[in-house]
Each structure stands twice: as C-alpha cells, then as structure tokens.
C-alpha cells in the first residue's frame, strides 16, 4: 500500500541517520496519521536540502569528492518542493448526515511554472492519469472540450490542474507515484550525503531543521 511504502522509506532514513546520534526510530502502525507521515517525510527532505546547499556546499570540485552531481542537487530541490506541494494539498471536505467526514476533491499548487511542465511530467509523473472533480453542471463538458483541444499532455496535466479541484483518486495517484518512483531518487542521494557529511555539519543542519519546524 501507499502507507506501507511511506513507512518503509521513513524507517530506512532514520536508521541511516543513527550514526549521527539520531536516537529516534519509529515504525508507524498501519492506521497511522498520513498527515504525520508526510510531515516527517518533508522534514527528511528538508534536512537533505540543508546539507546539500549549506553543509556540503556542492560545486564541480566538491561533487568529485562527494560523488554528488549538480544534477542530483537540483533533483533534491525539485523533490523537496513537490513533497511540500502534496503535503499542503487543499482537501474539500463535507460532513454527511451521520457525522462522517467525506473528502470530495483536492487542489494542488504546483511549485513550477509553465516552462517546466514538460520536464516535471516526463521526469516524475508521466504515468499519472488526471480526473477533475466537477463542481457544477456543465464543467464536465468544459474539461472534455479541453482534452480534445489540448494535444500536449503535460499542459493538460499541470496547467489545467493548478488550483483546480481534482478527484481524490487523482491526488492519491500523484502521491503514490511520488512515493514509489520519486522518493527512491532522494534516498540514493541521501545515502551519498550520509557517507561524506561531517558530524558538525549534520548537527548544525539538524539544529536549523528543528528551528524551522518549531517556527513553522
């Protein structure tokens, strides 16, 4: 399941960080809060981001020493931005007559502009199929017309989903794709970071991370 994938990834990160005296090692139960898991995943990526841009100061020269390429540095930045995007997805909820809360649809604010849509689609989300949540009569026909008129899939997938309500299935498909295909890319870079970062740099990054989390 998606949750199972998240659990596996998080415990892997925490285990690898153990060498730097990070004592927390938590395995989430199957009914754990998805919100909490996404928050910790974003924190892990933020830590990775801090270490890359400040702890290791990657450069062409440093890259040779660390084995981390400039492309990987940029990729981590992209992945972190996407994780924040999914974490902050707006969920439209209604309460049924029996008191049950129902998620009707979701809105995403993509962290990139129209010039980067093709790049993100081909690199990360090419397999995702998009479905809109129709909020009023006639909207379904509008989107069907868009699908016929717009030939570029990446434009349809991102330009016409930015800030527009999607079905929960679409949001879950984006998240599942992110967890199963995108996060492993981050794990590879993090493994390289752990092998070369100094204890002092790691402790400084952890201090900054804790400060940004508490202030946020």
Instruction: Read off the pLDDT of residues 123-169 as tens digits, 9 standing for 90 and up.
Output: 999 999 888 888 777 777 887 787 777 777 778 788 778 878 899 99
Report the predicted TM-score, pTM, of the whole model to 2 decimal places.
0.75
The pLDDT tens digits for 43-86 are 878 888 887 776 554 444 444 446 788 888 889 999 999 999 99
Structural domains of the chain, count? 1
Q: Which residue has the higher pLDDT, 32 or 108?
A: 108
Lowest mean pLDDT among 104-113, 147-156, 207-216: 207-216
Backbone angles phi, psi at 166, to 5 degrees: -110, 160
What's residue 22's pLDDT?
A: 36
| Cα 216 to Cα 197: distance, rounded to the nearest angstrom | 26
| Cα 144 to Cα 35: distance, rounded to the nearest angstrom | 33
Residues 6+ apart with CB under 8 A from 92: 103, 104, 105, 106, 107, 133, 165
Q: Which of 15-24, 54-63, 170-179 has the highest mean pLDDT?
A: 170-179
Whether 171 and 108 have beta carbons less than 8 Å apart is answered as yes
What's residue 19's pLDDT?
A: 42
In this model, does residue 101 exceed pLDDT 80?
A: yes
What's the whole-number average pLDDT of the chain? Answer: 75
What's residue 112's pLDDT?
A: 92
Residue range(s) defining the domain that contains residue 43:
2-215
138: left (phi > 0), else alpha (psi -120 to 50), else beta?
A: left
């Amino acid at each position: 399941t998606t949750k199972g994938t998240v659990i596996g990834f998080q415990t892997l990160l925490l285990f690898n960080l153990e060498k730097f005296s990070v004592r927390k090692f938590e395995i989430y139960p199957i009914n754990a809060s998805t919100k909490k898991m996404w928050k910790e995943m974003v924190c892990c990526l933020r830590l990775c981001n801090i270490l890359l841009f400040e702890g290791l100061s990657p450069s062409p020269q440093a890259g040779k020493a660390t084995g981390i390429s400039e492309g990987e540095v940029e990729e981590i930045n992209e992945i972190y931005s996407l994780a924040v995007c999914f974490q902050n997805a707006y969920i439209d909820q209604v309460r049924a007559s029996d008191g049950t809360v129902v998620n009707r649809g979701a809105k995403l604010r993509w962290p990139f502009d129209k010039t980067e849509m093709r790049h993100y689609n081909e690199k990360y989300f090419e397999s995702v199929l998009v479905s809109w949540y129709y909020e009023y009569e006639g909207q379904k026909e509008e989107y069907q017309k868009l699908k016929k008129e717009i030939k570029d899939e990446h434009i349809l997938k991102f330009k016409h989903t930015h800030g527009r309500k999607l079905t929960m299935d679409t949001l879950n498909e984006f998240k599942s794709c992110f967890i199963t295909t995108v996060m492993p890319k981050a794990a590879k870079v993090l493994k390289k970071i752990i092998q070369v970062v100094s204890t002092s740099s790691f402790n400084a990054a952890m201090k900054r991370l804790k400060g940004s989390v508490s202030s946020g």
